[in-house]
Structure 1
Amino acid sequence: MLKSFLQLIKTRRDLREEDHPLAPTSPNECLLQSFEWHTRSSADDPHWSHLSSLMPTLAELGVTLLLIPPPTKAAYENSNGYDVYDLWDLGEFEQKGQVGTKWGTKVQLEEMCRKAKEAGIGIIADAVLGHKTGADEKERVKLVKVDDENRLKVVGDVRDTYAWVRWKFDGRGEKYSQMEWGPQHFTGIEWDDGAQENGIFLLNGKQWSKNVDARFGNYDYLMFTDIDHTHPEVHADLLAWGRWITKELNLKGMRFDAVRHFDYDFMRQFQEHVAATTSGWISVGEFYDGDVRLLKAYLSHMTPGYKLFDIPLLTNFAAASASYLPLPPTPPSSTPASTISTGRVQNVRSKPFDLRRIFNGSLLASHPTQSVTLVANHDTQPGQACETPIAAWFKPLAYAILLLRNDGLPCVFWGDLFGITQGPEVVDKVKGLEVLMRARKGWAYGRQMDYFMDGGSLAWVRMGTHDRPGCAVVLSAVEGGARRSMFVGKRCAGGRWVDMMGLVKQEVRIDKKGYGEFLCEGRSVSVWNNAE
């Protein structure tokens, strides 16, 4: 009787599944930053065209989102675009000595966006909305100098002087936007042309935005000519630009540069305005600070879908990487070892970082759906202002944490995927990164089970879903490697699992209870999947 009852339950369940089949599991998202600070691009070999040719390869690796550099006209030839001159010029008009941007012309940009759409890749454009530079004319203005360390403190009297504060856009004229920018549209500048003096100057009658980071008393001013987002003409023009460029390029979202430096009320309004017309819109802010409390405070002013780069997690990666580096030889002198510099790592350090606490203080831990995780970007690569060294051997471990776990939106860096050949330091591409990206695309699905047994290693299992497979991951920051007995499911009993990274050659057999003894070598990561 019991057997018949159980059979009846199974039959009813099967009928329900036939009537209401499970929805397909959505593919994992993966964001790729498509440039590094020294990426080459020229009129003969524009980066937009290079990206167009790469779209099939990127899609095969599992890239679903592509972060592109600022596509707008810069003030200086061959700059990366953060010195914004004209937001409405995407490489279409003869301005600032060239038609195209460093990255190519508008025609090439549009072609790249079309190729991305064909490959199923969404475009995220880098938007610089806090400042402008490269003014066309100077004008007579009144201003006051403020203290660099306390921007709320005025230094000296009001000056009657000249400043470069007029943007006329003669090359573009009134196409797309009729607005001509003048001193009323800005709050501060860095150059008193009358006195030929550098500094931070507040335009007379203006005040810094109160809705910004509180560093230096007020962190509204960053560089160049600071935009006043409260001015109605500025507000209207920027919102119109947001919808225009989104439609023009069929954007999926934007990365917003240096958001701690401009009004968070405006940022929220801009995001809501553009997202209202674009399904699945993605907004990612760059708030560069390792203190998660500041990031959480900023997110409290944003809509729930707004994301930030997880700088606290990046900081943890750097600390862990440095703590496991081998100590250099003790110098042959009487000088205490703790006072002798050996480059980026000193000859005395605390105990190795406990990897079980790698997520402590991160945005991933407190706001997993709003965290964009990263190992490096154009600001943190060697030679940049926010350089954050992470040892080459540790990067595969960090990327495994980004790519093969179930929380956060991972952002892969161009310099890690393809290497960096220019600049102060050559950086090789990260070993095994392509394998990890393919593993995210094909195997990192389902419920996550963690096996965090000791401070020198991490391990976890993704159990898979009804239509996508799972995987097992073991990583170690110590020389001896790691081994974990982990449950992958009774349905896998008798299966043969192999290391996709190719580092461990022997297979793992799953026992009848669904367990396997998974391992990795020292200072490495192994990703295991069912070979059958």
Structure 2
Amino acid sequence: MKTPHTFLKKTFALSFLVLALLACNSDDHTYTPDPPETIPEKYDLGLFDNGKRVMMQAFYWDVEPRFEWWNTLSGHIEDWAATGVDRIWLPVATKGQSGGYSMGYDPSDYFDFGEFDQHGTVPTRFGTREQLEHLIQKAHDNGLEVIADIVLNHNSGGGEEYNPYRNKNTYTLFDTANGNASGKFNRSYEDFHPNSLHQHDEEALFFEEQDLCHHQPRVQEWLWKGEHSVAKYYKNVMKFDGWRFDYVKGFGAWVVKAWTDEVGGFAVGEYWDGYNPELVEWVEASGAAAFDFSCFYKLDEALDRKGDLTVLSGDMLWKSYPEKAVTFVANHDTEKDENPENNISAAHKMLAYAYILTHDGYPTLFYSDYENRQYRSGLKNLVSIHNSIATGTLEVLHQSGEEYIMKRNGNDDNPGLILYMNIGSDHRQRTVTTNWKDKKLVDYSGNTSAWLITDSNGQVTVEAPAKGFAVWSVSRE
């Protein structure tokens, strides 16, 4: 419901004197000064560095131009570092069955980073090994860690051989002549399921005939245990700093734990499930972080499917394990998914980013969103807010179908913030109690030019634009 003050603001040009008099007597603590130069100045948010940063997913599905992606990313490193990114997540960096068209999720040779002539190409879709090494070095020079995308569930592109466990031929022969030109980690049917150990591993089957068996000792040796294993080669030779594990529903959580126990590094798993107890069980068993699909689907439900912000009161991984929750709004899979329930609409993306960049968890930016002119300046600003005043304990001040107001309490050296999300079709105001007494407030999101003053009890009437959000905190004055 609009307050009289909001109405008067809209008639400001016609009746400034009446508005000024009424505003002086208003108890809603909202000031709309004239001239604009009197608006209080915002703090330089760099003064409140809270040590938090964000990750960049540095690719989208079927990136272009082919064979140049590593060079393309090298051109973005300085900007991302200046924005507040501390890690970049690269696509699968080694040769897949689809050769120069492969996004890497059909892994063939774990040691071909674009240097062997196989599957119709020497470079991968993303470029040569030399270009990749240059990218990793440039990222390190700018203080960024580089996260490798690791596919351990299945393999593709091997040669045909008779498989006695299936009583037919399968494409499970990987050697220098068949999809493994590096000559490292040669494989045969004994390394896949079924085999002499068992029929299948603990979890859901995918790409069944080439489903790797992680219980086979030689598979463990080549994947993480041995001195020349995939894990140690990526870390010690290629200089990757951490791991994004693909489709972790396809094998036991113990595999990720064994890998990280062996080589360390930041680790996050793609456990694609919106049911939070499943995510909690996986992070507890693996010891790794997980992408917060429970948060992703709650945001999609609240903003797109139902238009009801009370959905955000539900379970999410960031609420259960904030230090293990990698939050996100979009990724390479969701953006190409034609099912609207598996992606957040363009109309609501900035609202969703405002949510994850002011709440707990480790947020991820999606390359295509950040490089989109429609979102870029807003995302840069939200990252600045996240890395500075999005700190302290979290308290929901108001929640209804169309409104969500949350407070970060900050600390002695940091003012914290108030996020006001409004999915209604009109400008909204709501009186709340803050931690700030007799302070001027400004909107650090830049979505409204209004400024506010809290009273001696910390009360203030905050506001947010229609179908938008505001991030309130103290001004310099």
TM-score by length of 1: 0.73
Matched with 2:38 is none
- Indicate whether 1:524 and 2:468 are aligned: yes
CA deviations over 1:343-401 (Å, ceiling 9, x no partner):
xxxxxxxxx52x23414132223222221111111111134689613232322221111
> Residue 439 of structure 1: which of 385, 404, 427 is its match?
385
- Taking the aligned partners of 2:321 and 2:414, their CA distance within structure 1 comes to 26
Residue pair 1:68, 1:123 contacting (<8 A) in 2 also = yes
Letter matched to residue 408 of structure 2? R
Taking only the aligned residue pairs, the percentage that are identical comes to 26
CA deviations over 1:196-244 (Å, ceiling 9, x no partner):
xxxxxx56874101x22xxxxxx13345611111111111000021122
- Taking the aligned partners of 1:317 and 1:74, their CA distance within structure 2 comes to 34
Residue pair 1:79, 1:102 contacting (<8 A) in 2 also = yes
Matched with 1:179 is 185
Letter matched to residue 438 of structure 2? A
- Taking the aligned partners of 1:265 and 1:253, their CA distance within structure 2 comes to 17
The structure-2 alpha-carbon separation of the partners of 1:319 and 1:119, relative to structure 1 and needing over 3 Å to count, comes to same
1:75-474 map, 5 Å: 75-76=97-98, 77-135=100-158, 137-144=159-166, 159=167, 161-170=168-177, 178-187=184-193, 202=194, 206-209=198-201, 211-212=202-203, 219-222=204-207, 225-239=210-224, 240-275=229-264, 281-303=265-287, 306-323=288-305, 352-353=307-308, 355-383=309-337, 388-405=342-359, 407-419=360-372, 429=375, 432-474=378-420
- 1:308 is paired with a residue of what secondary structure? strand
CA deviations over 1:289-322 (Å, ceiling 9, x no partner):
222232233234222xx11111122111111123
> Residue 438 of structure 2: which of 468, 488, 493 is its match?
493
- Taking the aligned partners of 1:431 and 1:173, their CA distance within structure 2 comes to 44
- Indicate whether 1:502 and 2:446 are aligned: yes
> What's the RMSD between the two structures over aligned residues?
2.7
- Taking the aligned partners of 1:356 and 1:494, their CA distance within structure 2 comes to 30
Residue pair 2:305, 2:341 contacting (<8 A) in 1 also = no
- Taking the aligned partners of 1:169 and 1:386, their CA distance within structure 2 comes to 43
Residue pair 1:62, 1:440 contacting (<8 A) in 2 also = no
Matched with 1:5 is none
Residue pair 1:488, 1:515 contacting (<8 A) in 2 also = yes
- 2:75 is paired with a residue of what secondary structure? helix
Matched with 1:71 is 93
- Taking the aligned partners of 2:339 and 2:305, their CA distance within structure 1 comes to 22
> Residue 60 of structure 1: which of 82, 105, 108 is its match?
82
Letter matched to residue 59 of structure 1? A
Higher RCO, 1 vs 2 (CA within 8 Å, ≥6 residues apart): 2
How many residues are aligned here? Answer: 424
Residue pair 1:379, 1:385 contacting (<8 A) in 2 also = no
Residue pair 1:396, 1:430 contacting (<8 A) in 2 also = no
- Taking the aligned partners of 2:279 and 2:310, their CA distance within structure 1 comes to 22
- 2:334 is paired with a residue of what secondary structure? coil
- Could you tell me which runs of 5 or more consecutive residues in structure 1 were left unpaired when the two chains were aligned: 1-23, 145-158, 188-201, 213-218, 276-280, 325-351, 421-427
- Taking the aligned partners of 2:49 and 2:446, their CA distance within structure 1 comes to 28
- 1:432 is paired with a residue of what secondary structure? helix
TM-score by length of 2: 0.81
- Taking the aligned partners of 2:313 and 2:114, their CA distance within structure 1 comes to 42
- Taking the aligned partners of 2:366 and 2:258, their CA distance within structure 1 comes to 29
- Taking the aligned partners of 1:487 and 1:118, their CA distance within structure 2 comes to 45
Structure with the larger helix share: 2
Residue pair 1:476, 1:482 contacting (<8 A) in 2 also = yes
- Taking the aligned partners of 2:461 and 2:119, their CA distance within structure 1 comes to 62
Matched with 1:41 is 65
Quote the offset at 1:251 in angstroms: 2.6
The structure-2 alpha-carbon separation of the partners of 1:373 and 1:323, relative to structure 1 and needing over 3 Å to count, comes to same
